[in-house]
Homo-oligomer: A and B are copies of this chain.
C-alpha cells in the first residue's frame, strides 16, 4: 500500500476544473456539488484510511435523472468517476482520484416499496443495510446479509462489494439476496436488470453487477429478498485446545449435514482481546473458540444444539455453553462483533486482511500463518467465518516504528498468496479495490484478466468508471477488441501499467 501506484491525473482535466464544476452545478443544483477542501475532506478516504486522495470535486445527486446526466457529461468529457456509498470499504474501493468526480449516493436514502407477499423490498442505494431490516421488522422480516458495518454501510455499497456477514454461510452473500437493480451506464443510459421474480430471460447480468466495485455503472435502485425471522435462534460457545481441533469440529458439523445460521472462530489472541473489551464471559483457557448459531423452528434448534454439542465433545471440546435466552445469544456475538475495535486497544495499528480458502485447507493455512508471524515478528490475530472458509487475519503493527507497516503489508500479501496457493481466493467479502489489485495476477492469468476487461469495456468503453481499482493493468478497449477478433495473443507488453 505504501507503494500504491494510481493512474496519473490528466493535466487537462485539472486545468478545466472550474468549468467542470460549473457544468456539474447546472446538472445538480444547490448543495449538490462540493468543491472546497474543508467540505471535501470527509470524502478523501474510505475504511482504509492509509490511502488518502482529494477528488476533483464531490457530486451528490438526488435523482436517477441527475446521475444519468452527470455520467453522460463525464463520458462526453473524458472525466473519471468514483461512485461511493457510505465509504466503509475495507479495500479502498471508494478512494477518490485527483482528476475524478467522487459521486456520493448518500441522498438516495428512501425505501421505495415493501412487498411482504413477494418478500421483497425496493430501496434506493443509499439506504443502510440495517435500514432495510428496520423497515420490515414490524412484520417479523429481515434482510439476511449482515456486515459488521451494517449500521453505516449502504445497500448500494453492499451491491458494489458483494458484502457478506456472519450469517452468509446459511443465507448467502449479497449476490444471493439481490433480485434486481436499476443502473445507469457511463453513457447515461438507464437499464433495469432482474426484478421481483426468480428468473430472467436473456443474459443474466445481475451476478456480474454484484461485486463489480463501481467499475460497470452506478446502481440507483436495488430490489432485495427479505426473509422471515427464524422462530428461534440459539448460539453455542465451544472452546478447544487447538485451532486444528476447532477446525475439525467445523468440518464435522458441516459433514453432518448441519448448516448453522453462523459459525465463527476466534483464536487465543482474539478471545482475550475481545473478552477484555466487552466482558461477555468467553473462556480464557482455550486456544480457539467457536460460536455456532442454530436457527429455525424451536424443535429443530434444540435438536441441533444437542447434536452440535455431541460433535464438539467428541472432538475434545474443553468448554461448552449454549445460550438460554435472547440476551445471552446477543452477548455471545458481542465479543465477535467487537473484535476489530478490541484489537485497536492492544495494538497501535492493524491491517485487516480478507481471503477465502476451501474449508479443508484450514489447519494447513493456520499453521503456516503462525510460521509467517514468527518470520515477520508481528502478532496476527484470527477471526473468521469458519463455515465458509472466509479468513480475517488481523496483523498488528506500529506505524511509528520505521519499516513496520511495510513488514505488515508483506505479511498480508503472503497470507493472500497462501490462500490462492491452497485453492482459495484473494477476497472474501471486502472486494479487491486498490488493496489487492496488484495481487490479481496471482489468481488470474492474462487470458482471464483480458476477458474480464472485455466485459468491463462492454459497459465502459473509455474506462472512466473507478479506474485504478480491481485490475492491475487496464488495456485500451479498442485494442482488446481488435486483438480478440484477429485472434492475436495477449498481453500487450507495450501498454503501460498505470
Q: Which of A154-168 contact B (CB under 8 A)?
A: 162, 164, 168
Asked if residues A389 and B197 are in contact (CB atoms below 8 Å), the reply is: yes
Q: Which residues of B contact A188 (CB under 8 A)?
A: 487
Question: In the complex the two chains form, what is the Cα distance from A191 to B176 in whole Å?
Answer: 24
Closest B residue to A357 by beta carbon equals B197
Distance to closest chain B CB from A193 (angstroms): 8
Size of interface on A: residues with Cβ below 8 Å to B: 99
A205-B358 contact in complex given A254-B119, A481-B481, C-beta closer than 8 Å: no
Interface flags, A218-261, vs B, CB<8A=1, else 0: 00000000011111000000000000000000010011110000
Partner of A462, one of B175, B428, B485: B485
Asked if residues A201 and B443 are in contact (CB atoms below 8 Å), the reply is: yes
Residue A41 lies at the interface, judged by CB distance under 8 Å to chain B? no
Question: In the complex the two chains form, what is the Cα distance from A207 to B358 in whole Å?
Answer: 20
Asked if residues A389 and B457 are in contact (CB atoms below 8 Å), the reply is: no
Asked if residues A208 and B210 are in contact (CB atoms below 8 Å), the reply is: no
Residue A323 lies at the interface, judged by CB distance under 8 Å to chain B? no
Asked if residues B212 and A198 are in contact (CB atoms below 8 Å), the reply is: no
Closest B residue to A210 by beta carbon equals B204
Asked if residues B201 and A436 are in contact (CB atoms below 8 Å), the reply is: yes
Question: In the complex the two chains form, what is the Cα distance from A257 to B228 in whole Å?
Answer: 5
A428-B198 contact in complex given A254-B119, A360-B117, A451-B185, C-beta closer than 8 Å: yes
Q: Which of A278-309 contact B (CB under 8 A)?
A: 296-297, 299-300, 303-304
A447-B190 contact in complex given A198-B428, A425-B201, A457-B458, C-beta closer than 8 Å: yes
Q: Which residues of B contact A10 (CB under 8 A)?
A: none
Distance to closest chain B CB from A145 (angstroms): 13
Question: In the complex the two chains form, what is the Cα distance from A406 to B482 in whole Å?
Answer: 45
Q: Which residues of B contact A458 (CB under 8 A)?
A: 451, 454-455, 457-458
